[in-house]
Structure 1
Amino acid sequence: MESSVVLGEREWLACCGSVRFAKEMASAGPFSSYQEAVGAASDMWFNKVDVNGWLEAFSAHPQIGESPSKTHKSPTSAQWSKGEQSTALATATDSTLQELCEWNARYRQKFGFVFLIFASGRSTPEILAEIKRRYQNRPIVELELAAKEQMKITELRLSKLFSANATAPSTTNTHYASDVAKVEEDRVSRISGHLGTAKETPAEKAAETFTRTRPPITTHVLDIARGSPAAGIEVLLEAWDNNNQSRPLFGQMDSSHNWKLQGSSTTDKDGRSGQLMKMVDILKPGIYRISFNTGKYNPTGFFPYVSIVFEVRDSQKLEHFHVPLLLSPFSFSTYRGS
């Protein structure tokens, strides 16, 4: 017979800073497994806690890059926040911390709440890129995204509580420990797609609950000669589509009838292309090509157009691919971003 892990309001408040959430979850418990607790927490958070409760939970978090307040109502939560930001702080410089501070202030001024992100394992440059991207969202969209990030944090913290309560050398507690460790591994692997999929979990299983917040392939263009984003450049995204040949051979890259258009767009004032393909959780493995109408943008330049060809492998279909173009009249470069 399985024993249950009993969590009080204090423990639930450490997981999620909404008082109503903590009270309701304490009343609903105890829970016989980590999975049961996560299911109840998700239902409570998304279906029963109102917007005021969401904002209360958001306010319990320090800004990314800042230390938690000594007067924080949950010392455990403050300690966890510090640990969750450890990678960001370890990869930060004085200049990136200053830039992050400025963007935190801009974000709060626009949306009215702290920028919330599942920070575990994420570097400061990654977090900076994400806050800049999300800053463009409408408030209602950003509120929902922040709520999803809070739930990810709640799941991770809850796994720590269940692990802490699974220290006794019993069969049941050993089951808890392995169950919690596996689910936490799955959570981190889904959120940090650049780290790859979980070693013990097939990609298909992780995809059952995986939800993207942006299209799987994106790009932006920087004019490095002018030192500014390149606006107004036409962009095409295509995928290699030939049933008899899995990939183009050298010398066949311009066989246009084998390339299937996925979407097109024009870069905005920030040099971003916008949505180039449908929002799909699982990206089809294969060869992709992003083409830029650089000749129209810079008629006196050396390149009438630029095409970047890259491969998405089967093991990478849950990852995000950001393929930027760094352009000048007589040179260009690219890289795999996240």
Structure 2
Amino acid sequence: MTSPIDALDALAAAPAAELTETLLEICSSPSWAALVADSRPWSDRAELLAANEAAMAKLTVEDLNDAMAGHARIGKPKAGDATSEREQAGIRGVDSALLDELHEANAAYEAKFGHVFLICATGRTADTMLTALRERFPNDAATEAEIVRGELRKINDIRINRLLDESANS
């Protein structure tokens, strides 16, 4: 068993192509992956998480769209994708009427903003995600882009921590 520090060192020492592939599994924005990769080596987990935050702050709207393209629609985790299914665990076993409401609200959001509704779903119920979707629907595109940026950062933090923890425990 390796320690999280060893896992971090291994990630930082990975060949460029391998590191990029790993980072793109965390966030599908090539710009984000390049910015985080360029910030290595990281002395500790906090420094890698800070690199995520700094990279997220620099993403353009197009980069954010690239990042969102890697996420499943809320209420419809990607079949066979353990990450998607784990992150959207709050929709398991919910009433079909609530799922229908979530799908309808998603469709309206996507029609308005041109992309999936993105929220850090980890630990959230279907009800709280639907409430957040409805609360954010009146936003303008610029406001929503900044909220999405923050949600992506949270998701990336969770995925980075999981990667380091799983690597340390394998």
With the length of structure 2 as denominator, give the TM-score of the two structures.
0.85
The Cα of 1:69 is off from its aligned counterpart by 6.1
Structure with the higher fraction of residues in helix conformation: 2
One of 100, 103, 109 as aligned partner of 2:102: 100
Measure the CA separation in 1 of the matches of 2:21 and 2:131. Answer: 34
Task: Give yes or no for the alignment of 1:146 onto 2:148.
Answer: yes
Does residue 117 in structure 1 map to residue 128 in structure 2? Answer: no
Tell me, in whole angstroms, the C-alpha distance in 2 between the residues paired with 1:162 and 1:11: 12
8 Å contact kept, 2:79–2:85: no
Deviation (angstroms), 1:100: 0.5
Contact 2:23–2:33 (Cα < 8 Å) also in 1? yes
- State yes or no: 1:127 paired with 2:140: no
The aligned counterpart of 2:11 is 6
- Counterpart position of 2:87: 84
Matched, 1:42 2:53: yes
TM-superposed CA distance for 1:123, in Å, is 0.9
Separation in 1, partners of 2:87, 2:97: 21
Q: Deviations over 1:188-230 (max 9, x none)?
A: xxxxxxxxxxxxxxxxxxxxxxxxxxxxxxxxxxxxxxxxxxx
Count the aligned residue pairs.
Answer: 158
CA distance, structure 1, for counterparts of residue 34 and residue 85 of structure 2: 25
Matches for 1:179-194 after TM superposition, within 5 Å: none
1:66 to 2:76 alignment? yes
Structure 1 segments, 4+ long, off by >3 Å, are none
- Structure-2 separation of matches of 1:69 and 1:86: 13
- Classify 1:128/1:59 alpha carbon distance in 2 versus 1 (closer, same or farther; 3 Å): same
2:67 corresponds to which of 30, 33, 57:
57
CA drift of 1:154 comes to 0.3
Aligned-partner Cα distance in 1 for 2:100–2:20: 36
Task: Write the distance in 1 (CA, Å) between the matches of 2:133 and 2:52.
Answer: 26
**Separation of aligned partners in 2, 1:29 and 1:123:** 36
Are the aligned partners of 1:16 and 1:22 in contact in 2 as well (CA < 8 Å)? yes
1:139 Cα deviation after fit: 1.4
SS in 2 for 1:6: helix
Question: Does residue 22 of structure 1 match 2:24?
Answer: no
Alpha-carbon contact 2:29-2:67 (below 8 Å) kept: yes
**Alpha-carbon separation, structure 2, partners of 1:165 and 1:32:** 17
Q: Higher strand proportion, which one?
A: 1
Structure 1 stretches lacking a partner, 5+ long: 71-77, 169-338
Q: Secondary structure at the match of 1:108?
A: helix
1:42 deviates by 0.7
Q: In structure 1, what is the equivalent of residue 16 of structure 2?
A: none
Q: Distance in 1 between matches of 2:91 and 2:124?
A: 6
Q: Which amino acid letter does the alignment assign opposite residue 56 of structure 1? A: D
Unpaired runs of 5+ residues, structure 2, are 13-18
Give me the whole-angstrom Cα distance separating, in 2, the residues matched to 1:103 and 1:166: 40
- Check the 8 A contact 1:5/1:32 in 2, yes or no: no
Higher RCO (C-alpha 8 Å, min separation 6): 2
In structure 2, relative to structure 1, the CA distance for the partners of 1:41 and 1:151 (3 Å cut) is: same
Matches for 1:190-229 after TM superposition, within 5 Å? none
8 Å contact from structure 1 (residues 5, 31) kept in 2: no
1:155-202 deviation digits (Å, cap 9, x = unpaired): 00000011122237xxxxxxxxxxxxxxxxxxxxxxxxxxxxxxxxxx
Give the SS at the match of 1:128. Answer: helix
Code of the residue aligned with 2:118 in structure 1: it is L
Instruction: Supply the distance in 1 between the matched residues of 2:119 and 2:135 (Cα, whole angstroms).
Output: 12
Instruction: Give the letter for the 2:69 counterpart.
Output: S
